[in-house]
Amino acid sequence: MSRDNKRDGFSGSFGMIAATIGSAVGLGNLWRFPYLVGQNGGAAFILIYLFFSIVICTPIMVAELVIGRRGQGAPAISFFNLSGSRKWASVGILAMFTCILILSFYGVVGGWTIKYLVNSVCLQYREGAVLDSASAFGQFVSGSGGPIVHFLIFTALTGAVILAGVTKGIERTSKFMMPVLFVLVVLVAVRSITLPGSAEGLKYLFKPDFSQIDSNVVLAALGQAFFSLSLGAGMQITYGSYTRSDDNIIQNAFISSFSDTLFAILAGCAIMPAVFAFGINPGEGAGLAFVTLPQVFVQMPMGGLFAILFFATLFLAAITSAISLFEVVTASMMEIWKMTRRKAALLTGSIIVALGCVCSLSQGVLSGFTVFGKNVFDLFDYVSSNVLMLLTSLLVVLFVGWRLKKEAFLDEVTAGGRARMPRSVGAVLFYIIKYAAPLVIFAIVLSVIIK
Ligand code: TRP
């Protein structure tokens, strides 16, 4: 009990699950998943994705939660408390750095969602409106002042929730936002599927084309599963440290990852059928959600209203995820450098604003500045999803499997006997964490390096 009282934390399972799903379900589901499916062979990609998310990634989520709840701190502190070693603590620093990179480009897209929400409130996407959504989107994101102002508003709102703390800020926001989000995604999916010509899109989503599978596609699926479940960035460690000591973390992890995958597939159903119904190329890229859906709305009865609801949803999904990324950085600063929440949040915000502005401008005036052929925005996305998150996850599973040991793991996942979770289930997860997870991550990284 004493452990629960010491730190600000979630009041119970529902709050914890809502916040974790809030983190997991974000732009990754609504904006990244559908276009990755489009680019990488439809259902074949989804199957690989499902396999990774259930068999490998959920156990990794459990590993992170165990580190956080047992270590009782932000990532670096949790690692240090459990190992007494500064080397292991540096994995937590790596995680904090990863969150900073993700949040920089994520916040920029968060800003776009605000812009589109405002547009829809101004009835730009009402039924019958004439719209060139592709060029409007291109013009907006490649501008300078516009996207930056929206990015700043998004970051300020995120920071405000962080300032309010874990229970009053993060938990309260998530409990309210997540159910609303679910209803809205279902409504859009139903509308999209019932459009004439949508069947091609469903076929594209659900008919496997295994000939497209190569190591890059496998890496993309694994990278997306990590990104979507918010792994490899210390987020589950941080939220794990806020989880009550008697909560059933295995059960919570499976509920969270199941919901996340459901959201991703629903988002695919919301977007792909519409893409095909309007004859748009599904591999179009990040703009898909912003370009395609406005075209759906202008042809939909009450589309104007739908647009408002949808972009409100996209914004809510983005902000609950951004909150979790922001919290990792703020909690780390608070605990490592003994700062107040206020100071740490302001410092986090300043760093994010500086890097985010560069990301935003890299869509326009700075687009000529490229590293390995990628602009700064794409570089941050690529490096965090395909390099840093995999590396951090590898270190997380090696730590839990080989350093923390089985008894400690089983004790934590059964909450010392207080959670109804058979030890055998814990043992299976432990062996996945100890042997299968490191091998899979290692093999995939290697196959890409060799290529
Ligand atoms: N999972 C979120 C999404 O799908 C992104 C995200 C939020 C994230 N927090 C994270 C990714 C922490 C990695 C680590 O949009």
Test site for ligand 1: of 230, 319, 330, most ligand atoms within 8 A of the Cβ: 230
Mean pLDDT score across all residues of the chain:
89
Domain spans of the chain, in order of start: 13-450
Give just the sign of the alpha carbon dihedral 106, 224, 387, 235.
Answer: positive
Tens of pLDDT along 44-63? 899 999 999 999 999 999 99
Among 49, 103, 105, 228, which is best to mutate for testing ligand 1, by the most ligand atoms less than 8 A from CB?
Answer: 228
* pLDDT tens per residue across span 141-154: 898 999 999 999 99
* Spatial separation of the C-alpha atoms in residues 281 and 158, rounded to whole Å: 34
pLDDT tens, residue by residue, 67-124: 999 999 999 999 999 999 999 999 999 999 999 999 999 999 999 999 999 999 998 8
* Stretch 370-392: mean pLDDT: 87
| pLDDT above 50 (res 3) | no
For residue 5, pLDDT over 70 is answered with no
Collect all residues with Cβ–Cβ distance below 8 Å to 129 and sequence separation of at least 6: 123, 298, 304
Q: Average pLDDT in the 396-412 region? A: 92
Distance 58 CA to ligand 1 centre (A): 14
Q: Is 27 touching ligand 1 by the criterion CB < 6 Å? A: yes
Measured from the CB, is residue 225 less than 6 Å from ligand 1? no
| Protein residue with its CA nearest to atom 6 in ligand 1 | 230
Query: Rounded distance, CA 109 to CA 150, Å?
Result: 9
Residue with the smallest CA separation from ligand 1 atom 10 is: 230
Position 70 scores a pLDDT of 95
Instruction: Quote the distance between the C-alpha of residue 292 and its chain's center.
Output: 22
Burial class (CB in 10 A: 0-12, 13-18, 19+), 322: buried
Ligand 1 atom closest to residue 325's alpha carbon, by position in its atom list: 9
Q: Which fold has domain 13-450?
A: Amino acid/polyamine transporter I (1.20.1740)
Residue 226 CA to ligand 1 center (angstroms) comes to 8
Residue given tokens 């919901």 in the structure block:
259
Q: How far is CA 302 from CA 191, 305, 306, 426, in A?
A: 11, 6, 6, 49
The Å distance, Cα 357 to ligand 1 centre, comes to 20
- The model's pLDDT over 119-138, given as tens digits with 9 standing for 90+, comes to 999 988 888 888 888 888 98
pTM: 0.92
